[in-house]
Structure 1
């Protein structure tokens, strides 16, 4: 009987020290190959080939639709035009990817050879003869895959793969000349004397109409009268108005000590300082304001400072007061840029 340290014999000792087991087992070899229907029936093979060809062609058409929609259906200034543009672009991209993915997967599973081959290990540097054999094996594999006999299918697949990147590159290239002036985020429509109106009914708000615990979605007066750029201005100027018990407010002053609220009524930008999602989930008992995208949480009673989540700075506060008629008006624009932080976020 050999010992555990005897490496010269092809036997091994049991863990309990009794009996012997062979250290090597006979190679069972490959399992018997089972041909698929497409391997034995030419009609099935042709039918699958036509189906894959149709899927690749559909992908090509999807890419063309994306490029056409990008130029022919710009988002425009209305919600309806944006919805149509995004819908066509999304469907086109879906058709591109699904056509390539399903067609390629179907071809591999049904038409390409599914035989298993074994190549014995050899030295890293093969002989010239072995290399010639390997090259011939690659050629035979290409022939076995059917690619050399299915020119139309190969052409459609290559064309689909070649055109698909255009559905991503064209919109990117088209945005090269767009307006990237981030300084526009430093100013909004709010200015001294601008009344606070309800969103979307566009009614002015009296301070007496706002009770403790109320939450109002607010836009600046005159927003709906803009002919162009209304959506852009609204995206920057949206405000959430909340009335708290004045005794619960920890801080309601600017860095210079000015009061920015009115009898417990405070107004803050709805644009999250993390990535710009609309912050609108208010918890009355804790006075916390939650962003639904990434759960950044702000304390309305304490200048909307961040109490949880990835946001790095408080929501900008809109200074408000009342006019002679008792309507809520802005004292000025936001004192700092709204929205996420960016590389030129200076307050002046």
Structure 2
């Protein structure tokens, strides 16, 4: 099986597995326990991993809050912020192309009577500047805009957006799940007050992620209503016994990603360029790329094969190649992302997402393209 669905999840790095194994077999202590060595070793491992994740963003270690993944982080941040800071200005703003774990929370907020604004995007899927300015004039409590889109790879200038929000006293959150490990993310400006990510998108284990919750300019922790109450772990933001082996794996994946950041970015750009060139060369009359082909996450290619049903194509390829129609979390619905950038239903139904990893090869791409010609 040749795997081209790395935006859904990635193959775990063997070095990550090696780092995790001792915390499954020998170092099985609960880091919330005290005094004895197994507990202390577990606690030290958690804090070392917290520091490794923090280096991805140049933030403080105690601003990294471990969760089960980006979906939980998004829920924690959006619900926690609105409950804590809503007051008389109960309004939330999100872009129309966010991941379902943002949009479903926004819908939930609306059902509870909260005002939610959906920010329009341009023909590439990037947040529209005029629409953003109009949104900021209304002064929502929180603006949430993804750093890079999980279906098209299109990037938003979240640093500029966060600064504009900060100047208006508006909190800013970004879902950085698809960007981390593929592009440089450090240093993270303090105006990006909240950030979400998952380990399994950067060759780490599933079931572990983080919410980055920045302190204010005085170093005071941001108050946030917890999603999960209990023993007060994770600085009272997220209670529950810590999954030490997964946290260690997350830390190792973060360390490896940071160590090879520039190399990984260049490799993904090379692979994507080769794939695009081959597809245009072999299928000039039916291939059309969705979204921006330049200012984007390297390795994510959303492409139309005109006149071809995407579901039927993926099924025909499924014995040998893994790819998708879009987000794994919204696989049963036509893409809201492609709809938002103006594609027709027929165009959406002829589009597939090919998402690459630095572990993929030129030979795999050539094999895939040759197989397509035979179909």
TM-score when normalising by structure 2: 0.20
Q: If you compute each CA radius of gyration, which structure gives the higher value, 1 or 2?
A: 1
TM-score when normalising by structure 1: 0.21
Q: RCO higher in 1 or 2 (8 Å CA, sep ≥ 6)?
A: 2
